[in-house]
Chains A and B, each alone.
Chain A
Amino acid sequence: MIILNKIISFYYREYKLNLSGFQDILTNIIFFFVSIFIFIFSIGPDKEKISTLSIGIVWTLLLLSSTLSLRKFYQDDFENGSLLIMHLNGFSFGFIAILKTFSHFLFVQVPFLLSIPIACIILNIANDKIIYLVASFAVGSLTLSCLGSISSSMNLMNQRNFLLGSVIVMIFSIPIIIFSVSIINIEESFNSLISILFGILLIVFAINPWASGLCLKLSIENN
């Protein structure tokens, strides 16, 4: 019961923090939509071409937009000592990584999830494909949050090069993009492809607490 109350308190704190930094979330969403318009203008008025490329565009932009928020994944909590307090309050570093990953999913990825239908209308994506896109993003974005947790915790040990973490996320997200785009383009294979995406999620989810937890421990030790 005590641990449950502590977890609820953790998310209350994350909610308060994200509410006060709401402009950051809004900026990410605006970046996403502005980039969509830039793609449309650069492709030209050919509706068919836009429709063919649209799924790839949405996924690429979702990936780029969510990497924008990675810098703050652990950085603020690390700098102001909150990570240490969470640890001394009874959470192992691995468990903190799991909690922060869900927090990132909830406060950064879910707003994107909600904006996907609007992006689909702008990009002229067929209505029946929207549900597949949302489903693939729901699974894929949690995987991206796990990868983000690993790369951001690595960044704490390498304060000079933030881009390295973003590059790591992008490289490891290639399989997610391949299977997510395939889900929408080959609808009859939806079940098998979403299972593969789930498989990738489970692998990354299992690695995340160990890898991130170790990086958090080492960065606090060396700070």
Chain B
Amino acid sequence: MILVKDLSIERSNKKIFENINLAVGSGKIILLKGKNGSGKTTLLKAMLNLIEPSAGAIYWKGKLLKKNLYNFFNNVTYIADKTSSLGKLSVQENINIWKRIFLSNISDSQIENILSTLKLDTYLFQKVNSLSFGEIKKLEFLRLILENKKIWILDEPLSNLDSESIEVLGQTFEDHRSKEGSIIFSSHQKSEINVSEEILL
């Protein structure tokens, strides 16, 4: 579905990486590995057309990504290293806003189940500001289910998560893979998530 061909990126005359080739097909989980500053986030951003590559191209369903951008966006959920929940609002209010923005038809009982699995159900009426960073990050993962898209792109999803949450996330990835979904995520730490391919940057 996504094809990255000979991609090179330079920023401020400094080469971040060059000649990266990558194919993200249905039912694949791809892990981008590398040290801090190796260009994992840059590659993910380039795949979302947020950064202009210095060479190479990215294709989506056989067409240049740039020319098929909004069709691609309709199929992708991006979880950045920053969290997008609104700190001043409660967990419940954030979920309601996301449900409206992503036109999600997921039922309240399904959301309750997910929150219970993520151990966030007791914080429903608490302001996001008062949660720990790990809890805010887990709340962010709810977007994966709410948006219900084919491709998941996640930047450092494992950082700040405890082993139990990583296990839940791994299981969620497996479920998505079994539904022919694709996942590409970055990590600089060892993970026990079962991946189809590892790319070292």
CB distance from A147 to the nearest CB of B (A): 26
Of the candidates A20, A79, A85, A220, the one whose C-beta lies within 8 Å of that of B50 is A220
Q: Does B82 contact A (CB under 8 A)?
A: yes
Q: Which of A5, A12, A81, A90 has the most CB of B within 10 A?
A: A81
Q: How large is the interface on A (under 10, 10 to 19, 20 to 34, 35 or more residues)?
A: 20 to 34
Contact B74 A9 (CB under 8 A): no
A9-B100, A88-B78 in contact; A21/B88 too (CB < 8 A)? Answer: yes
What is the total of A-B residue contacts with beta carbons within 8 Å? 65
> What are the residues of chain A within 8 A of B83 when measuring CB–CB?
80-81
Would you call the interface of chain A mostly helix, strand, loop, or mixed? helix
Contact B97 A89 (CB under 8 A): no
Q: Does B86 contact A (CB under 8 A)?
A: yes
> What are the residues of chain A within 8 A of B101 when measuring CB–CB?
6, 9-10, 13, 85, 89
Q: Does A160 contact B (CB under 8 A)?
A: no
> What are the residues of chain B within 8 A of A89 when measuring CB–CB?
73, 101-102
Would you call the interface of chain B mostly helix, strand, loop, or mixed? loop
Q: Does A84 contact B (CB under 8 A)?
A: yes
> What are the residues of chain B within 8 A of A8 when measuring CB–CB?
100
User: How far is A21 from B129 in the complex, measured between Cα atoms in Å?
Assistant: 14
A88-B73, A90-B73 in contact; A80/B100 too (CB < 8 A)? Answer: no
> What are the residues of chain A within 8 A of B73 when measuring CB–CB?
87-90
CB distance from B134 to the nearest CB of A (A): 17
CB distance from B87 to the nearest CB of A (A): 8
Q: Does A82 contact B (CB under 8 A)?
A: yes
Per-residue CB proximity of A202-223 to B under 8 Å, as 1/0? 0000000000000000001100
Q: Does A2 contact B (CB under 8 A)?
A: yes
User: How far is A8 from B103 in the complex, measured between Cα atoms in Å?
Assistant: 11
Residues of B within 8 A of A (CB): 45, 48, 50-52, 70, 73-74, 76-78, 80, 82-89, 93, 97, 100-103
